[in-house]
Structure 1
Amino acid sequence: MTSRTPRADSLANRAGILDAARHALATDPHASVDTIARSAGLSRRTLYGHFDDRDALIRELIVTGAQRFNGIAASVTDADPRLALARLATRLWHEAAHVQVAAAIALDEAHVTQTAEALAPLRRAVAQLVQRGQDAGSFRTDIAAPTLARLIEEVARTVVARVDASSPSAADLAVRTLLSIAGLSWREADDLLRTHPDVLESVE
């Protein structure tokens, strides 16, 4: 027996629930199912027709968000690993800044395992980028590549959770912080970003 294709209104409701959840969580990280359903203009019963519970809804947000992050990782093609890391950090920051609270929830301890699985392509891209940077002599080599990649991930996680996304200098700070962890001095990072000002431009 073949499964039926979801009806257009069902797909629209599901998309509306996810969008409402992102906005509700941005206002209140503990927003209830009732609050999210009202924000979506739907009944609680309709929401439960799409998601078994609040955790299931959060998990779906993580998966859909991860797909966007993974796509961003695939879009960075700079040959210079320093430039590639800076551009990747910028694009990921601008994406995360739009949904900073939801991103922080995805990265908290309760969801970190699932988030890591969903972001596997991004993590592989970072690991490969770090190895490439070390091989080229652009990144620090006093720390093994897998460990350095993990440190970059952890620092990025902290920046997303702690830095005020509304600050005009937030993206610049995020990029410089990750370049520093990779081994660039503040002067080297400054020179890189001054030479390539397009790196810090927002990507829609």
Structure 2
Amino acid sequence: MTTTTTRKSRAGGVPTPARRRSDATANRAALLSAARTLLALDPHASLDAIAHGAGLSRRAVYGHFPDRESLLREVITLGAVRFNEIAEATDDPDPRVALARMAVRLWREADAVRAAANIALDDVHMDITVRALLPLRRRVRAITAAGVASGMFRQDVDAKLLAVLVEQAARATLRELRLSTADAAAIVARMVLSVVGLSWREQHELFAAHPEIIAED
């Protein structure tokens, strides 16, 4: 009897526990994927829109997230993990190259990161974003400190304050510009390099010497 029942379940009757777990995992992944895609375009995308994008009902969403806010926090967390990984993996003995390369790599990330960046533009989520991005912020501070100490970055601003200015400039760029042009990566790199004091001529020379900064995929 038990064997027969089990076989029926596996053949298409009542889903087995393993199948239910697999479906739940797939649905959660679909929700997060839809959230990343929609929030990358519109940080105010509704829960209904996200559910629809995932091919699920609004009721199904509540089986994974109690409300929209908890879903947003998960997207922020996942995006921050990727941000931090990129920051910690980006290194170069030349702080100008390290900073520009990091900016380009972050910009070129997939929707998971861009969605988190869009949500971060909302001051309501600033606290959780700041906490989640501590490794990235430490890396930016280290690069700016190295740049100031080496004389490659501007000398009229304290290194810690300069790191804050870089962060704020990046945030302002995300807020004001939805860059989608072919040269968006170069624009982002030029923005951070301008903040740390490089002239347009110095930037041109840097890119000529290191074309991989904006050419890398």
- Number of aligned residue pairs: 199
Q: 1:85 to 1:79 in 2, by over 3 A?
A: same
Name the residue aligned to 2:82: 68
**Does the alignment pair 1:192 with 2:209?**
no
**Which runs of structure 2 are paired with 1:1-204 in the superposition (5 Å)?**
7-95=21-109, 100=114, 102-203=116-217
Q: 1:135 to 1:97 in 2, by over 3 A?
A: farther
1:13 Cα offset (Å): 1.4
Say whether the 8 Å CA contact 1:134–1:140 is kept in structure 2.
yes
The secondary structure found in structure 2 opposite 1:167 is coil
Say whether the 8 Å CA contact 2:84–2:133 is kept in structure 1.
yes
The secondary structure found in structure 2 opposite 1:111 is helix
* 1:70-117: CA deviation from partner (whole Å, max 9, x where unpaired): 010011121111110110111011127786465222232111111111
The secondary structure found in structure 2 opposite 1:7 is helix
RMSD, aligned CA: 2.0
Task: Tell me how far apart the structure 2 counterparts of residues 103 and 45 of structure 1 sit (CA, whole Å).
Answer: 27
In the TM superposition, structure 1's runs of 4+ consecutive aligned residues that sit over 4 Å from their partners are 96-102
Say whether the 8 Å CA contact 1:29–1:105 is kept in structure 2.
yes
Which has the larger Rg?
2
* 1:53-74: CA deviation from partner (whole Å, max 9, x where unpaired): 1111111111100011101001
Say whether the 8 Å CA contact 2:87–2:139 is kept in structure 1.
yes
Which consecutive unaligned segments of at least 5 residues does structure 2 have?
1-17
Which consecutive unaligned segments of at least 5 residues does structure 1 have?
none
TM-score by length of 2: 0.85
The secondary structure found in structure 2 opposite 1:110 is helix
Name the residue aligned to 2:7: none
